[in-house]
Amino acid sequence: MTQNLPKTHYLTDYQPPAFEVESLFLTFELLPNGTRVTNRMQVHRVKDLSAPLVLDGEGLELIQVDLDGVALMPTQYDVTDTQLILPDVPERFELEIVTEIDPENNTRLEGLYRTSGNYCTQCEAEGFRRITYYFDRPDVLTYFTTKIIADKQDNKVLLSNGNLVEVGDLPNDRHYAIWKDPYKKPCYLFALVAGNLEEVEDTFITRDQRQIDLRIYVEPKNLDKCEHAMESLKRSMKWDEERFGLVYDLDIYMIVAVDDFNMGAMENKGLNVFNSKYVLAKPETATDADYEGIESVIGHEYFHNWTGNRVTCRDWFQLTLKEGLTVFRDQEFTSDMLSPAVKRIEDVKRLRNNQFPEDAGPMSHPIQPQSYIEMNNFYTMTVYEKGAEVVRLYHTLLGEAGFQKGMQLYFDRFDGQAVTVEDFRNAMADANEIDLAQMHNWYTQAGTPTLKVEKHFDAATGTLTLHCEQSLKGQSAHAPLLIPVLFGFLNDDGRALPVRPGENSRNKVFETEKGHLLKLTTLSETFEFTGLSQEPHLSLLRHFSAPVNLEYAASDEELMMLASHDADSFVRWESIQTLALKNIEDNVARFQAGNGMVFSEHYQQAFQAVLEAKGLDPALKALAIGLPDLPYVFEQFETIDVDAVLQAVEYQKAQIAQTFSGALDKAYLAHCSKKAYCYDKHDMAARMLKNQCLAYLAYGAEPVVRAVAQYEQQQNMTDVLAALNALNHLAVSEREACLSDFYERWQQDTLVMDKWFSLQARSESEQALQDVRGLLEHPDFNYRNPNRVRSVLGVFGRLNMKAFHDASGEGYALLAEEVLKMDKINPQVAARLVTAFTSWKRFKGHRQDKMQSALQHIAADKALSKDVYEIVSKSLE
Ligand code: ARG
Ligand code: ZN
């Protein structure tokens, strides 16, 4: 809590540690309200002969400190709110510290806490200091041994990192287990789990023929929902061997699913802890998106074993070193398991809907932040998703083989160490003997770059000139970024034309495995191409080869041609999306001028062509006919006029529904199937298209028929939820009937109930605001469960643009009150909720004022957590 202003941490202040920990022996005597932690460590000094020993610790009750076996008097050390300081320690010594903590009342879910009656931990980023006094920084690595002592009845299972080396019984119906981790690690990778969990077991044989025990621990009632997670784990292990040559390094790999978790999952060495949302699935309870999410998060945490654990971060400013790289790896994994084209588009949508707005707002930061108040606030879309895009740039520039050479060198050089983003870049550069110094600029500059391209064609000489300019908003002279642009030339029929770089461009245009690549390295650059018998159409930024906003004035005819014919599925999708966006933007202007709206002819033609295209993947069709998501539409405007945008989008949906009702219905029926649910890309694609059609049909003349029928079939959760989604914005009795049926069916299933809450929290219905108030009072609502809080308040602030931005300002007032309430319970979750307000300056007139007032109201609370304080204060600056 913040009496005085919280401290800002700067990258430039980094100092290597003054002490090394040779080994650490932790003993936990577990009790819900008074867990005793004994921490015995062997330490020696590595520099600063006179420096005191300073250990981090928060919320701990200190019981005793022994130095080399001798108990210290309280006068021999200092204890503050955040540190334990021993002014005088020898060169080499053993320190034993006993503390007590209260897991039962730990509602922050950092450190050791209880969830559904079990014990679990979350230490990243700085949670270990809530377990014991220690060097809570990622560049202090040591060998951990953990002894867990607990009552047998309530804690059948006792788990920690590494290998189980000893178990035994103790008096009073207690027992113990000792785990030893043979790999050095920083404390953020420590984990402990205890309780009455059941396990699902399997094995994996590595390519060097070692047998690895795989275990997934869940509450007994969830044993029937682990199969997909286990299969995903085995696929991840195999894929990492095949694609990256990386093999697992312990004899056992454990995953624990818990209901109360602040984020998605955590890669603790050998003992991952997961939000149950990313483990549990069966067709009746989980959607295709859930299945895909599970596979990718299981992969993500598994891939961290090498990119994060074996090679870790020097300090938290390097977070993207492990996260950007591991997200890139999980994206490639999903891409290889399902459809590369679909995955790329989904990732671009995610980036644009979430990261672009973040980068355009007051919390904007480079993928390597230069300062922070609360590190947990920097587990962002920028560090993760833009970070992954930057890793992808290396991949595009170096090709798969070159990239893998770089990875190999990275592991050869840094295995067992805590390193920086520069170390990664140098490994990539050295392994390929090229200079990548300019890549640094992607790490230190915030904001989404704009890439402006202009085309000139000289018919007399057959020469095409492309003039490219890069800019970063609000920065007049930024350091130029290295921007790889994949591209192609097309004739009027969409056939490829030859690419022949002219004299001045030979060293800037390349043939790569992903196609023609133009390498932009300066702020403004001209590229020449010769030997063209006709003026080509441009297909630019194929594969979304760089995380930029492309400004290129293509005509509607060109966009239509690209949408139907380009060789690159991203560009095809992007072209029809641009047509939709132009139509929406046009209608926003019309609405503002008091004129009627129009439904673009060119968009209609492209829509129909895509919907009826033969042989096109139904998933790509579904993505193409979908409208750009609201956050991305908002991003197109300097000043956001919520009413105008919502009207324009509403109009667009209604026009689509009306104009194409026949074709949509036909496509819907063509993709219905009686087949049992299967997690398979073809089946998923069919469901995706069918349900996109269903969503549109709900805006048409007969909105409820198909949706109710689909709901009643109860085929699988994907289809059931799609049916509810279609009904969700309608003021019809069928909506209420289906929602209450759903409640009756699934009341006992926490994850499914999250869906029930979130449906209502994002409803476009007139009384949504009132409904959200009701949901907060519902007996199944629970402020201590982050998933439940997010499914109501997170969804409301982020996805319900209509109700959250209600002209009365009541949506803002509601969320502000809830943020304050939540901050006392769980600051990390509260800080995420408050980001709904950060873009307040972008909104028009009275909304801007009301959002500002809501933020000021939050800021006025004198006891704000650092988490919420940082976001609110930076937003109001
Ligand atoms: N390292 C985890 C991951 O896989 C995220 C943990 C973040 N947790 C937190 N409280 N900041 O991405
Ligand atoms: Zn991660």
Give 485-544 pLDDT, tens digit per residue.
Answer: 999 999 999 999 999 999 989 999 999 999 999 999 999 999 999 999 999 999 999 999
Identify the three-state secondary structure at position 584.
helix
What is the number of H-type helices and E-type strands within the chain? Answer: 29, 33
Domain end position, chosen among 489, 523, 546: 546
Does residue 204 register a pLDDT over 60?
yes
Q: Which residues pair with 213 in a beta bridge?
A: 203, 252
Judge if 474 and 498 occupy the same domain. yes
Domain end position, chosen among 480, 513, 546: 546
The answer to whether residues 94 and 43 touch, using CB atoms and an 8 Å cutoff, is yes
Q: Measured in angstroms, how far is the CA atom of residue 317 from the centroid of ligand 1?
A: 14
267 lines ligand 1 (CB under 6 A): yes
As a whole number of angstroms, the distance between CA 688 and CA 595 comes to 35
305 lines ligand 1 (CB under 6 A): no
- Label residue 25 by pLDDT band (50, 70, 90): very high
Q: How far apart are the first and last CA of the chain?
A: 21
Judge if 431 and 487 occupy the same domain. no
As a whole number of angstroms, the distance between CA 422 and CA 829 comes to 32
Q: Give the tens place of pLDDT for each residue, 99-115.
A: 999 999 999 999 999 99
Judge if 440 and 482 occupy the same domain. no
Q: Is residue 660 in some structural domain?
A: no
The answer to whether residues 133 and 43 touch, using CB atoms and an 8 Å cutoff, is no
Tokens standing for 152? 């047998």
- Nearest atom within ligand 1 for CA of residue 262: 10
Judge if 43 and 61 occupy the same domain. yes
Judge if 785 and 844 occupy the same domain. yes
The answer to whether residues 26 and 128 touch, using CB atoms and an 8 Å cutoff, is no
Judge if 438 and 488 occupy the same domain. no
Backbone φ and ψ for 70, nearest 5 degrees, come out as -110, 125
- Nearest atom within ligand 1 for CA of residue 308: 1
Residue-level pLDDT at 48? 77
Ligand nearest to the Cα of 267, by number: 1
The answer to whether residues 830 and 791 touch, using CB atoms and an 8 Å cutoff, is no
CATH number, domain of 107, equals 2.60.40.1730
Q: Which of 121, 266, 328, 384 to mutate to test the pocket of ligand 1 (most atoms within 8 A of CB)?
A: 266
Sheet of 111-115, strands arranged across: 111-115, 118-122, 192-195, 157-160
Q: Is residue 821 in some structural domain?
A: yes
Give one DSSP letter per residue of 206-220, joined into a string.
Answer: -TT--EEEEEEEE-G
301 lines ligand 1 (CB under 6 A): yes
Q: Give the tens place of pLDDT for each residue, 429-482.
A: 999 999 999 999 999 999 999 999 999 999 999 999 999 999 998 777 799 999
Residue with tokens 């995903």: 232
As a whole number of angstroms, the distance between CA 109 and CA 122 comes to 7
As a whole number of angstroms, the distance between CA 338 and CA 253 comes to 25
Q: Is residue 746 in some structural domain?
A: no
The answer to whether residues 268 and 282 touch, using CB atoms and an 8 Å cutoff, is no
124 lines ligand 1 (CB under 6 A): yes
What are the DSSP E strand ranges found in 332-474?
A: 371-372, 418-419, 449-458, 463-472
Q: Which of 126, 263, 316, 832 to mutate to test the pocket of ligand 1 (most atoms within 8 A of CB)?
A: 263
Does residue 3 register a pLDDT over 70?
no
109 lines ligand 1 (CB under 6 A): no
Judge if 324 and 433 occupy the same domain. yes
Residue 176 lies in domain: 19-195
Q: Measured in angstroms, how far is the CA atom of residue 320 from the centroid of ligand 2?
A: 9
Judge if 404 and 513 occupy the same domain. no
265 lines ligand 1 (CB under 6 A): yes
Q: Is residue 9 in some structural domain?
A: no
Buried b (16+ CB within 10 A) or exposed e, 628-661: bbbbbbbbeeeebbbbbbbbbbbbbbebbbeebb
As a whole number of angstroms, the distance between CA 225 and CA 230 comes to 10
Closest CA to 312 of 430, 201, 157, 184: 184
641 lines ligand 1 (CB under 6 A): no
Q: Measured in angstroms, how far is the CA atom of residue 265 from the centroid of ligand 1?
A: 6
Atom 7 (ligand 1) nearest CA: 124
Q: Is residue 637 in some structural domain?
A: no
Q: Measured in angstroms, how far is the CA atom of residue 326 from the centroid of ligand 2?
A: 6
pLDDT (mean) for 384-398: 99
Residue-level pLDDT at 475? 78
CATH number, domain of 439, equals 1.10.390.10
Does residue 1 register a pLDDT over 50?
no
Q: Is residue 437 in some structural domain?
A: yes
Domain end position, chosen among 503, 527, 546: 546
Q: Give the tens place of pLDDT for each residue, 226-263.
A: 999 999 999 999 999 999 999 999 999 999 999 999 99
Q: Running DSSP on this structure, what letter comes out for residue 596?
A: P
Instruction: Report the share of the chain in percent with pLDDT over 90.
Output: 98
Q: Directed axis angle between helix 340-350 and helix 319-337, to 10°?
A: 140
- Nearest atom within ligand 1 for CA of residue 122: 10
Closest CA to 313 of 58, 124, 45, 57: 124
Judge if 423 and 499 occupy the same domain. no
Q: Is residue 165 in some structural domain?
A: yes
Q: Which residues are catalytic?
A: 301
The answer to whether residues 57 and 99 touch, using CB atoms and an 8 Å cutoff, is yes
| CB hemisphere CA count around 114 (13 angstroms) | 18
Give one DSSP letter per residue of 798-838, joined into a string.
Answer: HH-HHHHT-TTSHHHHHHHHHHHHHHHH-HHHHHHHHGGGT
Tokens standing for 727? 């009904």
Residue-level pLDDT at 5? 85
Residue type, 611: L
Residue-level pLDDT at 473? 87
- Nearest atom within ligand 1 for CA of residue 379: 11
Ligand nearest to the Cα of 266, by number: 1
Judge if 50 and 185 occupy the same domain. yes
Pairing mode, strands 118-122 and 78-79: unpaired
Contacts of 57 (CB under 8 A, 6+ apart): 79, 82, 83, 84, 99, 129, 130, 132, 133, 134
Compute the chain's Rg from CA coordinates: 28
Residue-level pLDDT at 474? 74
Q: If phi over 0 gives left and psi between -120 and 50 gives alpha, with beta otherwise, what is residue 747?
A: alpha
Judge if 426 and 480 occupy the same domain. no
**Distance, C-alpha 321 to centroid of its chain:** 15
193 lines ligand 1 (CB under 6 A): no
Q: Is residue 225 in some structural domain?
A: no
Residue-level pLDDT at 49? 78
Residue-level pLDDT at 2? 44
Identify the three-state secondary structure at position 168.
strand
Check the CA dihedral 613-346-358-13 and report its sign: negative
102 lines ligand 1 (CB under 6 A): no
The answer to whether residues 343 and 620 touch, using CB atoms and an 8 Å cutoff, is no
376 lines ligand 1 (CB under 6 A): yes
Q: How many domains does the chain have?
A: 4
Q: What is the mean pLDDT of the chain?
A: 97
Residue 208 Cα distances to 244, 249, 269, 333, 398, angstroms: 15, 11, 21, 21, 29
Q: Measured in angstroms, how far is the CA atom of residue 865 from the centroid of ligand 1?
A: 19
Judge if 25 and 155 occupy the same domain. yes
Q: Measured in angstroms, how far is the CA atom of residue 322 from the centroid of ligand 2?
A: 7
Q: Measured in angstroms, how far is the CA atom of residue 124 from the centroid of ligand 1?
A: 6
Residue-level pLDDT at 367? 98
As a whole number of angstroms, the distance between CA 597 and CA 652 comes to 9
- Nearest atom within ligand 1 for CA of residue 297: 4
CATH number, domain of 465, equals 2.60.40.1840
Tokens standing for 26? 């932790």
